[in-house]
Amino acid sequence: MGKVVAALSMSLDGFVADENDSVSALFGWYQNGDVEVPTADPRRTFQVTAASARFLKPLLDDAGALVCGRRLFDRTDGWGGRHPAGCPVFVVSHGMPGGWPRDDADVTFWTDAISALEAAQKVAGDRVVGVSTPMLTRQYLDAGLLDEIIVSLVPILLGAGTRLFETLVVTPVRLGDPEVIEGRDVTHLTYRVLR
């Protein structure tokens, strides 16, 4: 079975979205370079630095499934039915948004986060299951289900917003030494979760 990996961009003071629920201040690195990283959706490409490309390309290529929450799904309009990694998306939600499910999209909706992860792992096989929301990251971390945490650390202080590690129940959580890739306006940190 593949790894379960949470990957999020975060401010230096620990926020993954600002107080207006915007991530724009944290996502500038996706368009701040001259190396094109194509996605599974030909309408979307990233223009990153060479260092960030070394980080981002394997992240997209290795993805076998993605688990996210309804808020992210709504904010991205379901990626237009095709996630940039081209993998199936499992959305944890109390309800289904209007217009979904769609025949042209590999998206399923789940009311239980653990069941969604189990289904994603079956579909992903030996490939990575990505987790891309703070609430699910915390829930899977507390349940001992995360293998790695990737933080793309952006040199900005937001002061308020949504914290990544705010309400952990099971602490302390020990992490291995990070793998570090320094980009422009971002440092990509990959930590193995020690059990």
* Residue 96, both tokens: 């289904």
Cα 26 to Cα 36, 164, 166, 175, distances in angstroms: 19, 13, 18, 23
* Residue 33, both tokens: 């370079």
Provide the CATH number for the domain formed by 4-192 in this structure: 3.40.430.10
Q: Which sign does the torsion angle of CA 79, 80, 81, 85 carry?
A: negative
Q: Does position 83 have pLDDT exceeding 90, yes or no?
A: no
Contact 108, 81 (CB under 8 A): no
Confidence of residue 176 (pLDDT cuts 50, 70, 90): very high
CA neighbor of 30 nearest in space, from 68, 57, 66, 12: 57
Domain ranges in the chain are: 4-192
**What does pTM read for this prediction?**
0.93
pLDDT tens digit sequence for 118-168:
999 999 999 999 999 999 999 999 999 999 999 999 999 999 999 999 888
